[in-house]
């Protein structure tokens, strides 16, 4: 993320307790002005927003701890349906040569068939899911 986008995000987080609508507007500005070199940034932002909405602190000024594992699982859930081939071709999620999150999700998906849910994989292929 560029310095400008980091500043916008930091300002949005700082002001979130004051005006939730403004926070939403600033997040949209980040999405609209960000470079589109990989989808993981958007997936991570969506996962963070979902977590924040589901775990609103009782006190508006309180911080919110986001467990990295929880965030990672949410990003995998977003990617899970996207890593299936579309009309015989793999969809490209990054302009970079190595998209680690995508590659690892594809590797995990290789343990299953196309109709298998991520929840089933968590149980049936626990070692692969953990790695």
* pLDDT computed for residue 7 by the predictor: 57
* pLDDT computed for residue 35 by the predictor: 63
Checking if the pLDDT of 18 tops 60, the result is no
Mean pLDDT, the chain, rounded, equals 75
Checking if the pLDDT of 11 tops 80, the result is no
β-partners of residue 86 are: 89
pLDDT digits (tens, 9 = 90+) for 73-88: 898 888 888 877 778 7
Would you list the domain boundaries of the chain? 3-54, 68-130
pLDDT digits (tens, 9 = 90+) for 92-121: 666 666 677 778 888 888 877 777 888 888
Q: Please, are residues 129 and 108 in contact by the beta-carbon 8 Å criterion?
A: yes
pLDDT digits (tens, 9 = 90+) for 21-62: 777 777 777 777 766 666 777 888 888 888 888 888 787 777
pTM greater than 0.85: no
* pLDDT computed for residue 1 by the predictor: 45
**Model confidence band, residue 2 (pLDDT cutoffs 50, 70, 90):** very low
């Amino acid at each position: 993320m560029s310095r400008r986008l980091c500043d916008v995000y930091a300002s949005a987080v700082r002001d979130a307790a004051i005006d939730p609508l403004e926070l939403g507007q600033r997040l949209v500005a980040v999405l609209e002005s960000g470079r589109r070199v990989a989808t993981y940034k958007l997936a991570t932002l969506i996962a963070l927003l979902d977590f924040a909405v589901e775990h609103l602190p009782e006190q508006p000024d309180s911080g919110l701890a986001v467990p990295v594992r929880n965030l990672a699982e949410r990003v995998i859930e977003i990617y899970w349906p996207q890593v299936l081939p579309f009309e015989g071709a793999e969809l490209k999620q990054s302009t970079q040569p190595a998209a680690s999150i995508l590659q690892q999700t594809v590797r995990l998906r290789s343990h299953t068939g196309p109709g298998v849910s991520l929840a089933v994989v968590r149980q049936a292929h626990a070692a692969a899911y953990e790695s």
